[in-house]
């Protein structure tokens, strides 16, 4: 067999899902070589001519397109996790003529691959963001199976090379993590000045840019929390809080019971000022809160409220705090109770 036909054979085996990973690499490399495009089109144009008159059901064509498209994404993402995606089930359709199948499928594949080749080479430098608006919550499963719940007004970022070496994400806001176990790859959350490293663990990180504190709370497993050169290894039900102004790190065991209540739609206020309450309400309900005086901002409130409507939350707070409120347009105005 001539050398140029070896790659056609590799291609046919790939389309049947029978090509080993090491030979796939050889095929991808060849695709980028000068003349590869022309050779492919000549070969399959001839195959198309020879198979003239044979038809392939539209449903099969569509399924082929989806499978090929999934395979391209798998190549640039989690290859090992998604091997089953690329196994195209062509054998049962051989009566429709293998040449027609390969041509219809691969003409689409060649077009997509050659147009995306430059992009996929730089795939590891691409950045993926999960954005959660004010008043919303979301959950996401990362490529390794790690589950993340994201609170309102939160951004989670990770690169295309996630899992190739370290598993690293960047968090701005609040997230609850259930980390997939992988003893060969560290899982790291970068949250402002704080870095949290975990292996097979469940924890919460609160790191809003506008808050004065960064907080990590551990529920299961073990985490190493670092601020600059200082680091602390937390035990289950311990929290580490870092004050951005004073630069103090404090470890406590009285916050764990509250740290993940937001995930179950409960609002926790633990001796916070009304000004801090206003920030939380803005995140959760996307509402602006205005204070009638500086004094009102400094009133403190503690309590746990099952997440409800904005009006109900404000009403419950006003029953125990010395405040009154009124709604004017799209704002909530809070003043001292007279």
In angstroms, the CA 117 to CA 32 distance is 8
In angstroms, the CA 338 to CA 335 distance is 9
Among 24-28, 41-45, 66-70, name the one with the lowest average pLDDT.
66-70
- Mean pLDDT over 62-72 rounds to 47
Q: What percent of the chain is modeled with pLDDT above 90?
A: 31
Q: Is the dihedral of CA 97, 98, 99, 100 positive or negative?
A: positive
In angstroms, the CA 139 to CA 131 distance is 11
Q: How confident is the model at residue 191 (pLDDT cuts 50, 70, 90)?
A: very high
- What torsion do the CA atoms of 143, 257, 281, 309 make, to the nearest 10 degrees? 100
Decide yes or no: CATH 2.60.120.1440 for domain 125-259: yes
Residue whose token pair is 């390794």: 144
Q: Would you tell me how many other CB atoms lie within 10 Å of the CB of residue 180?
A: 17
pLDDT for the residue 266: 87
Domains 125-259 and 265-336 belong to one CATH topology: no
Domain map of the chain by residue range?
3-121, 125-259, 265-336
229 versus 199: the higher-pLDDT residue is 229
Q: How confident is the model at residue 62 (pLDDT cuts 50, 70, 90)?
A: very low
pLDDT for the residue 89: 39
pLDDT for the residue 182: 86
Q: Tell me which residue of 274, 262, 263, 267 sits closest to 323, measured CA to CA.
A: 274
Residue 208 φ/ψ region, left for φ over 0, alpha for ψ in the -120 to 50 degree band, beta for the rest: beta
CATH number of 265-336: 3.55.50.30
pLDDT for the residue 116: 46
Q: Across-strand partners of 239?
A: 217, 252
Tell me: the pLDDT tens digits for 90-107?
Answer: 344 343 344 444 444 444
- What torsion do the CA atoms of 166, 170, 173, 178 make, to the nearest 10 degrees? -20
């Amino acid at each position: 067999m001539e050398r140029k036909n070896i790659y056609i054979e590799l291609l046919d085996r790939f389309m049947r899902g029978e090509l080993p990973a090491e030979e796939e690499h050889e095929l991808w490399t060849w695709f980028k070589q000068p003349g590869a495009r022309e050779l492919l089109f000549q070969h399959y144009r001839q195959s198309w001519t020879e198979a003239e008159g044979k038809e392939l059901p539209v449903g099969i064509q569509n399924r082929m397109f989806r499978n090929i498209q999934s395979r391209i994404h798998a190549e640039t993402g989690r290859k090992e996790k998604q091997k089953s995606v690329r196994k195209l089930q062509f054998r049962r359709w051989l009566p429709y003529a293998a040449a027609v199948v390969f041509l219809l499928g691969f003409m689409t594949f060649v077009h997509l691959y050659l147009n995306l080749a430059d992009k996929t080479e730089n795939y590891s430098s691409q950045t993926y963001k999960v954005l959660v608006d004010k008043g919303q919550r979301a959950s996401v499963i990362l490529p390794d199976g790690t589950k993340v719940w994201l609170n309102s007004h939160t951004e989670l970022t990770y690169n295309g090379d996630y899992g190739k070496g370290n598993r690293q994400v960047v968090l701005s806001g609040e997230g609850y993590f259930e980390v997939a176990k992988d003893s060969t790859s560290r899982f790291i959350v970068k949250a402002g000045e704080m870095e949290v490293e975990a292996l097979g663990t469940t924890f919460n990180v609160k790191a809003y840019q506008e808050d004065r504190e960064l907080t990590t709370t551990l529920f299961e497993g073990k985490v190493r929390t670092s601020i600059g050169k200082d680091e602390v290894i937390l035990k289950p039900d311990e929290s580490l809080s870092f004050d951005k102004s004073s630069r103090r790190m404090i470890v406590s065991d009285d916050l764990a019971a509250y740290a993940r209540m937001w995930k179950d739609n409960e609002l926790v206020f633990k001796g916070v000022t009304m000004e801090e309450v206003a920030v939380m309400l803005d995140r959760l309900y996307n509402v602006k809160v205005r204070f009638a005086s500086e004094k009102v901002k400094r009133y403190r409130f503690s309590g746990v409220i099952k997440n409800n409507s904005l009006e109900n939350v404000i009403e419950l707070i006003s029953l125990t705090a010395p405040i009154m409120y009124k709604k004017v347009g799209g704002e909530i105005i809070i003043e001292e109770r007279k």
